Amino acid sequence: MTGRPLDATGLLRDEAEALMAELGQSRYRGRQLFQWVQARRVTNLGAMTTLPRTLRATLAERISVSRPVVVREQRAADGTRKVLFGLRDGEEIESVLIPDEDRLTACVSTQVGCALACRFCLTGLMGMRRNLTPAEIVGEVLALQDSLEPGTRISNMVLMGMGEPLLNFRAVERALRILCDEYGAGFSPRRITLSTAGHVPGIRKLAASDLGVNLAVSLNATTDGMRDRLMPINKRWPIAELLEACRAYPLPQRRRLTFEYVMLDGVNDSAEDAQRLARLLCGIRGKINLIPFNVTPDLPDRPSPRERIEAFQRILCNAHLTATIRESRGQDISAACGMLRTGTDRDSTAKTPPTVKSEPKTG
Ligand code: SAH
């Protein structure tokens, strides 16, 4: 057999079935293969003992089962864990596991770097390096699950790691279909949240799909003037257009959109901002998640004082909006929101980091 082997980690169940049909096997063999890869997380074909030995030998010539490699793991004081993964071409991504009382959330990356250059986010300083493939996104989640003790399971997933998921729509969509398949990892779409910086065509595509995941929108400002400065994507899709797409987003009963709002000292945290935000979101079924800014020396802004965040929240609540303050997790290992970055200097146990091409952007 010639050509690159097919990567089973990125195969949908019906594609695995079609592959088996092509090999003259019954389709249920495809489901078995899918179960081995996705539910039992086995990467070695030889260990897939429900498949006949001869079939395993044939498969060995046709397919591989990929997995990103764990390069480093860090544990924060609050139990949050950050995992650095190495990809086949030497690129690296970070993912985070966030334990809570009753859940374990995986924060998943969808791109290496990011093209959007939001002023308050470290990933933006990397620039865009490349999209993750469906197999890499699925492999990231399966490898995170592998890193847990037996009996512990990832219960929730947020696409809030490195990258803008809607700028890698096809790969993200395929990965989510694989991860939500009942014969595979079996995630419930209702426990998955996709977060976007406001890519309007992507929101419309997601709305038209049957994926059924939750949508979070990083709003972060209440005027186009300020949002243009914080998030360059706003110049292309300004607030009014973004909120129109949000209004048109079909929500199942009792579900709401999430609006994320990073609190930056003296930038977007005034009482007027809170009032404007309440007016903007009037009539949209949504909740607001106020995010204390995670500071690093590489970024220009400072965090809003706690009292101001609470005052902001109070104004929103008085306007009958639901507003929560996101507790920052994993800050001591740079695992918190906006702190994920790879390819910069790291301890000597790590491999040679790829060079970062982009210059830091400031507003
Ligand atoms: N590109 C997507 C997903 C990645 S960012 C998006 O923009 O939504 C995930 C969240 O982290 C966003 O809501 C963003 O506003 C927030 N964030 C980014 N940098 C941050 C920082 N330094 N401190 C706190 N939150 C930050």
- Specify whether 154 is located in the same domain as 286: yes
Query: How far is ligand 1, taken at its centre, from the CA of residue 344, in Å?
Result: 19
Give the per-residue pLDDT at 110: 98
| Domain boundary, last residue among 39, 64, 89 | 64
Q: Is residue 198 part of a domain?
A: yes
Helix ranges restricted to H, the chain: 13-22, 28-34, 53-62, 122-126, 134-146, 169-180, 200-208, 224-230, 233-236, 239-247, 271-280, 306-318
Query: How far is ligand 1, taken at its centre, from the CA of residue 320, in Å?
Result: 25
Give the per-residue pLDDT at 351: 37
The whole-number average pLDDT for the span 239-268 is 96
Give the per-residue pLDDT at 327: 86
- Specify whether 48 is located in the same domain as 85: no
Give the per-residue pLDDT at 4: 79
- Specify whether 28 is located in the same domain as 76: no
- Specify whether 227 is located in the same domain as 102: yes
Q: Is residue 332 part of a domain?
A: yes
Query: How far is ligand 1, taken at its centre, from the CA of residue 314, in Å?
Result: 22
The larger pLDDT score, comparing residue 107 to residue 329, is at 107
* Residues classed as catalytic: 94, 337
- Specify whether 11 is located in the same domain as 157: no
- Specify whether 137 is located in the same domain as 227: yes
Which ligand 1 atom sits nearest the alpha carbon of residue 121? Answer: 19
Q: Is residue 130 part of a domain?
A: yes
Look at the block and give the residue holding tokens 């037996």: 150
20/59 Cα distance (integer angstroms):
9
Q: Is residue 270 part of a domain?
A: yes
The whole-number average pLDDT for the span 28-45 is 98
For residues 242 and 98, the answer to whether their CB atoms sit within 8 Å is no
For residues 91 and 341, the answer to whether their CB atoms sit within 8 Å is no
Q: Is residue 275 part of a domain?
A: yes
196 within ligand 1 shell (Cβ under 6 A): yes
225/304 Cα distance (integer angstroms):
20
47/40 Cα distance (integer angstroms):
11
Residue 40, C-beta contacts closer than 8 angstroms, at least 6 positions apart: none
130-144, 211-225, 322-336: the lowest-pLDDT one:
322-336
Give the per-residue pLDDT at 251: 93
- Specify whether 185 is located in the same domain as 305: yes
71 within ligand 1 shell (Cβ under 6 A): no
Would you call 266 exposed, middle or buried from its count of C-beta atoms within 10 A (0-12, 13-18, 19+)? exposed
The whole-number average pLDDT for the span 46-52 is 97
Q: Is residue 355 part of a domain?
A: no
Which ligand 1 atom sits nearest the alpha carbon of residue 114? Answer: 1
| Domain boundary, last residue among 64, 80, 105 | 64
- Specify whether 210 is located in the same domain as 261: yes
The whole-number average pLDDT for the span 143-162 is 96
15-24, 199-208, 347-356: the lowest-pLDDT one:
347-356
Q: Is residue 357 part of a domain?
A: no
Give the per-residue pLDDT at 2: 52
Percent of the chain with pLDDT over 70: 94
Q: Is residue 356 part of a domain?
A: no
Query: How far is ligand 1, taken at its centre, from the CA of residue 189, in Å?
Result: 21
Give the per-residue pLDDT at 136: 98
The whole-number average pLDDT for the span 54-76 is 97
- Specify whether 154 is located in the same domain as 223: yes
Query: How far is ligand 1, taken at its centre, from the CA of residue 325, in Å?
Result: 14
pLDDT value at 220 more than 80: yes
Pocket test for ligand 1, best of 114, 195, 230, 296 (most atoms within 8 A of CB): 195
Give the per-residue pLDDT at 356: 35
Q: How confident is the model at residue 122 (pLDDT cuts 50, 70, 90)?
A: very high
Pocket test for ligand 1, best of 105, 120, 264 (most atoms within 8 A of CB): 120
Give the per-residue pLDDT at 296: 87
335/84 Cα distance (integer angstroms):
11
* pLDDT digits 0-9 by tens, 93-121: 999 999 998 999 999 999 999 999 999 99
Q: How many domains does the chain have?
A: 2
- Specify whether 256 is located in the same domain as 237: yes
- Specify whether 204 is located in the same domain as 275: yes
The whole-number average pLDDT for the span 260-277 is 98
| Residue 191 belongs to domain with CATH number | 3.20.20.70
Q: How confident is the model at residue 345 (pLDDT cuts 50, 70, 90)?
A: low
Report the chain's mean pLDDT, rounded to a whole number.
93
Which residue has the CA at smallest separation from atom 12 of ligand 1? 218
Give the per-residue pLDDT at 207: 97
- Specify whether 32 is located in the same domain as 74: no
Which ligand 1 atom sits nearest the alpha carbon of residue 161? Answer: 4
81/330 Cα distance (integer angstroms):
7
| Residue 18 belongs to domain with CATH number | 1.10.150.530
pLDDT value at 157 more than 50: yes
Give the per-residue pLDDT at 285: 96
Q: State the residue range of the domain holding 332.
A: 69-345
164 within ligand 1 shell (Cβ under 6 A): yes
pLDDT value at 348 more than 70: no
The whole-number average pLDDT for the span 264-277 is 98
pLDDT value at 353 more than 50: no
pLDDT value at 24 more than 60: yes
Which ligand 1 atom sits nearest the alpha carbon of residue 217? Answer: 8
Q: Which two tokens stand for residue 280?
A: 């903007």
